[in-house]
Structure 1
C-alpha cells in the first residue's frame, strides 16, 4: 500500500513535538539547557537521515523553511515590542551606552579576528554579526535563580538582554547590505539593493504594523486577537519573502509600531508569546538537523576560532562599556560582558538566513552556530553566576571598608 508523503510529514512533526516534551522533562531535572537538547535532537535526526538512510541534509523538504521563517518573525516581532518610548526612557543612557558598546566591540572582535586569521570576508562579517546576539532567557533565568534581579548589576544585565538582540538584528541587516554592496560589480545597483533591503523592511514593518496597532485596540481579547496575531505573522513572513527584504528587521519594526501605537498592545504580544513555542521547537530541531555532517570536519577550525573570539569580544565589550559608563557616573564591574555569552535562536536564525544568501558557506555557518550554541548555552549560565558572585563580593567589600 502506497504511503502518502504528508502522512510521513505529520508523523515526523508529531514525533518532534513529543521529543520536545521529553527534552523539557530532562532539562527540568538536570542542568542541561532545553535549547541545547532540542538542537541535539536535530543533530540526531541529521545522523539518521544522512548516515543511516543516505539522504541529503534538510528534513521536511518544502516545509522546514516556512516554519523557520515563522519562528524567526515571531521572535523578531516580540523583540520589537521592547522598543517602546516609555521603556527606552526608563532604560536611560547607561543601558544604551553599555549594550551598544558590548554589541559593537564584540562584533568587531569576532569579524576582524576571523578575517585576520585568513577566513573568507563573507564568513568573517557574517559570524561577526551573528556573534552579537544573546539568549535573553538563559541570562534572565540565571539572574532570578541567584536572587540578583534587584541588584544594580542584575538590573543592568536584564535591561541589556532586553534590547541586545534588537541591536543584533539591526547590525545583521547592515552587515548583509554591506556584503551585497561589496560583492557586486555595479556599485550604484548594489547601493540601491542594500537600501531596498533595509528601507523596504522598515516600510513593510510600518505598513503592516500601523493597521495592526489600530485593529488591536478594537478587537475583543481572546480568539479575534489570536487570529489577528497569526495574520500579522503570516503577512510579515510572506511579505518579506516576496519583497526580498529583511524579515527580522520588518518584524521588529512592526512590533515596535504595535507596542507604541496600540492602546491594548499587550494582547497581540501575549498571543504570539503563547503560540511561539511549538514553532521554536521545530526551529531548533530543524536547525540542528540542517547540519551537513559530511562537511563537519571542515568547520572545526572556524568554530574554535569563533568561540574563543566571541568570549574575548564579550570580555572586551563589557570592559569598554563599563569604562564609558564609569566615566559618566557609577562604578560598574569590568567583567559584565562575560554574563552575555549565552546564544540561541536569533543567532541560529541569522546563520540560516545568511546561508540562504550564500549557499557556499551555509554548511560552515550552521556547523559553527550549532556547535557554539550548545557550548555557550552550557557555559553561559555558569559565567552569569560567576559575574554576579564577583559583583556581590565586591559590594560586600565596599560596605566593609565603609
Structure 2
C-alpha cells in the first residue's frame, strides 16, 4: 500500500507541476516558487496530505536532483567561460561568501545570540541555490555575461560555502570547548573527499563517455555518472553537491571528443527537481518556530543585506558595470536545501542548539526559496533593459 501511495502522489505531483508551469508563465511567477507553495500546502505545514512513505523516498530523489544540477553547473565552467568570465566569477563568489558569513554572524551576535549559534548561522548563510537560480535563468531564456556569471557563481559558491561552514563548525567547537581538531578533520574530510571523488569519477569519464556510441554521451552514461557520484558521496559522507560539480567541471574541461556531455541529463532533470522543490515546501516543521521566530526574521534580513552588499562589492572589485554590480546580489538570493543539510550536521555536533538551528535553517530556506526566485527574475530583467 505504501508503494502505491508514493506512485500515486508522484503522478499527481508531476501533472500538477505541468499545470503550475503553465500558470507561472501566464502570471509571471517562477515555477520554483509555485512548487514550494504547493509542497507547503499539501504537506505537513498546512493540509498534511502527502503519504508518510513519500518523505522516505525524498532520501533518493533529493540527492539525485541536486547532483544533476551540480553536473550541469559544473559544465558551465568550461574553458571558454573560464577564459571570458573566470576572474569575475571567482572574485564575486569569494566576496559574497566572506561578506555573508561576517555580516550574518556579527549581526546576530550583536543582537544577543550566543556566539557559537551566531557563527554557525553565519556559515549557513553562505549556501546558495544552484537549482532555483539555474531554473529561473533557463525559464527566462536569459543569455549574456550577467546570466553566465550567475550560473558560474552558484556553480562554485557552495564549494566556498562548505569550506566556510567547516571553519564555522571548527570555531563553534572551540567556543563551546569541543574537540577542535576533530572538527577540522571532519570539515577537511567532507570537502577534500568530495573533490577527490569528483576527480576519481570525472577523469576516466572524460575519456570514456561518448565512445560506445559516436557523438555525445548517451542517456545511460549520463545518468550512471549522476547516480555514481550521488551514491558514493553519500556512502562515504562527502558532499554530493561538490562531488557532482567537480566531476562535471573535470569532464567538460578534459573531454575533447564531445561538446555537450550533459545534454542528456537536461532532458530528465526536471522531474527530479519538481519533487525536490515540493518536498522543500513540505519539510517545514512549525514546532520550534515560535521559539526562534525573531531569529528567523533577523537572519533573513541580515542575509539579504549581506547578499546585496557582497554582490555589489564583488562586482565592483571585478570591474563590472554599475547596474550588474547592484543586481548581482539580488540575483543570488535563493538559499538551497544544502543549508538544511549543513544544519543537520551541526545538530549532530551541537545537540543543545541543534534543533533551534535546524528550525531557522528550514524556515529561512523556505522564505528565501519563495522570495529568491522573484528577485533573481527581477535582477535578470533589470540588467537586460537597455
TM-score tier, shorter chain, comes to 0.7 to 0.9
Q: Tell me which residue corresponds to 1:332.
A: 321
1:178 CA drift (Å):
1.9
Change (3 A) 1:6 1:54: closer
Residue 343 (structure 2) pairs with residue 358 (structure 1)? no
1:52-98: CA deviation from partner (whole Å, max 9, x where unpaired): 5699x976132111111111111112121122333211225345434
**Structure number with bigger Rg:** 1
1:358 CA drift (Å):
3.3
Which residues of 2 match residues 2-401 of structure 1 at below 5 A?
Answer: 4-46=1-43, 49=44, 60-119=54-113, 120-121=117-118, 123-130=120-127, 135-139=133-137, 144=142, 155-184=144-173, 185-220=178-213, 225-326=218-319, 332-333=321-322, 336-342=325-331, 347-359=335-347, 360=355, 361-389=357-385, 392=386
Which residues of structure 2 form unaligned runs of 5+?
Answer: 348-354
1:222 CA drift (Å):
8.6
1:158 CA drift (Å):
2.1
CA RMSD of aligned residues (A): 3.0
Change (3 A) 1:52 1:104: closer
Aligned mates of 1:199, 1:375 — CA distance in 2: 33
Q: Tell me which residue corresponds to 1:400.
A: none
Change (3 A) 1:333 1:97: same
Q: Tell me which residue corresponds to 1:399.
A: none
Once the two structures are overlaid, the 10-residue window that deviates more, 188-197 or 95-104, is 95-104
TM-score by length of 1: 0.81
Which residues of structure 1 form unaligned runs of 5+?
Answer: 150-154, 393-402
Q: How many residues align?
A: 370
- Is contact 1:323–1:334 with CA below 8 Å preserved after alignment? no
TM-score by length of 2: 0.84
Aligned mates of 2:192, 2:214 — CA distance in 1: 33
SS in 2 for 1:358: helix
1:36 CA drift (Å):
0.4
Aligned mates of 1:245, 1:225 — CA distance in 2: 27
- Is contact 1:105–1:313 with CA below 8 Å preserved after alignment? yes
Change (3 A) 1:212 1:6: same
1:388 CA drift (Å):
5.0
